[in-house]
Amino acid sequence: MSAKPDEDILNHNYDPAYRHLLKAKEIAQKENVSPELLSEINRAIELYQQRHTYCEGQTTQPSQALDTLINETLCYPWKDAHKKGEISYVASPRMLSGNKEVQLIKSITSASKARMALEIGLFTGCASLGMAEALPKDGKVVSLEIDKGIGDLARSFLDKSPAGHKVEIIVGPALESMGKLAANKMKFDIIFMDANKDGYVSYYKTIFEKDLLASGGTLIVDNVLKSGDPYSGEKYESNSWAISEFNEVVLQDDRVHKVMLPVRDGIYLIRRTEDTGDWLP
């Protein structure tokens, strides 16, 4: 039982070093360089691929329900659904959290003894289901999704899983939904942010201004390396400026302890300093 690999992940297009290696190979072949040099370039490319495969193999495989959800998402006719007006924007399987990332989120959820989780940006429910599987029987995941068609699709996927009933989907603009949750005094032990990148700063500020993150809670933010653009200075992604802005906001925020991990397209783990001992001299 293993999910089909997302081609963007398999080809490591998130990593600019890998992209440049592929370009170097192309140039080397045209320039007819020495076999030794071309062999080293090929070996470097091979090592990138082998590391990915090795890490995936060393990671807990998805549950049957999660595996089915991942595969159905990868095989779904997203372009046709948009043309038919079933969804409001052109979605891509690349928006799916891969198994390695979901298992990391699941581990953090379990280790934190979380009971309440919030997801900002549902898509088809991959991360939501991972968190739901790690929550106790009375636990709950609240997932925010802007598009009703995608929300309905995610619901159909989640309803096939034993833990899917723990996920509540709220359709509408995330900031409005977050405001309502705060008004109802809801707090979350885990918050996973993976929505529109130009909204990250607003979502981040709202989380702390409206006290949505529970004491001792963890905020997990996806795509903070954005195909390498924030540190490479390249413009591989059109909206990478928003991630660079967000990363700087977090870096300058002395209220939080943060660590950025190069998992998939980059993950930020963010906690309050009082929960990590950063206030100590």
Render pLDDT for 204-250 as a digit per residue (tens, 0 to 9). 999 999 999 999 999 999 999 999 999 999 999 989 999 999 999 99
Render pLDDT for 169-212 as a digit per residue (tens, 0 to 9). 999 999 999 999 999 999 999 999 999 999 999 999 999 999 99
Q: If one looks up domain 64-275 in CATH, what number appears?
A: 3.40.50.150
| Domain range list for the chain | 7-57, 64-275
Contact 150, 89 (CB under 8 A): no
Question: What is residue 9's predicted lDDT score, i.e. its pLDDT?
Answer: 44
Report residue 281's pLDDT band, with 50, 70 and 90 as the boundaries: low
Q: Evaluate if residue 97 carries a pLDDT over 50.
A: yes
**Spatial distance between the Cα atoms of 132 and 181, rounded to a whole number of angstroms:** 19
- Which residues, including other chains, have CB under 8 Å from residue 25's CB and lie 6 or more apart? 38, 41, 42, 45
Q: Which long-range contacts (CB under 8 A, 24 or more apart) does 81-89 make?
A: 81/149, 86/149, 87/147, 87/149, 87/150, 87/153, 88/146, 88/147, 88/149, 89/147
Render pLDDT for 47-91 as a digit per residue (tens, 0 to 9). 998 998 899 999 999 999 999 999 999 999 999 999 999 999 888
Question: What is residue 32's predicted lDDT score, i.e. its pLDDT?
Answer: 84
C-alpha dihedral, 170 to 173 to 175 to 176, nearest 10°: -70
Render pLDDT for 18-47 as a digit per residue (tens, 0 to 9). 999 999 999 999 998 999 999 999 999 999
**Six token digits for residue 144:** 């925010």
Contact 143, 157 (CB under 8 A): no
Question: What is residue 278's predicted lDDT score, i.e. its pLDDT?
Answer: 74
Contact 132, 97 (CB under 8 A): no
C-alpha dihedral, 22 to 24 to 26 to 30, nearest 10°: -170
Question: What is residue 279's predicted lDDT score, i.e. its pLDDT?
Answer: 66
The stretch 261-271 carries a mean pLDDT of 95
Strands 188-193 and 140-145: unpaired
Report residue 12's pLDDT band, with 50, 70 and 90 as the boundaries: low
**Six token digits for residue 43:** 């070996």
Question: What is residue 117's predicted lDDT score, i.e. its pLDDT?
Answer: 98
DSSP at 135: S
**For the chain, percent helix, then strand, then coil, each to nearest 5?**
50, 15, 35
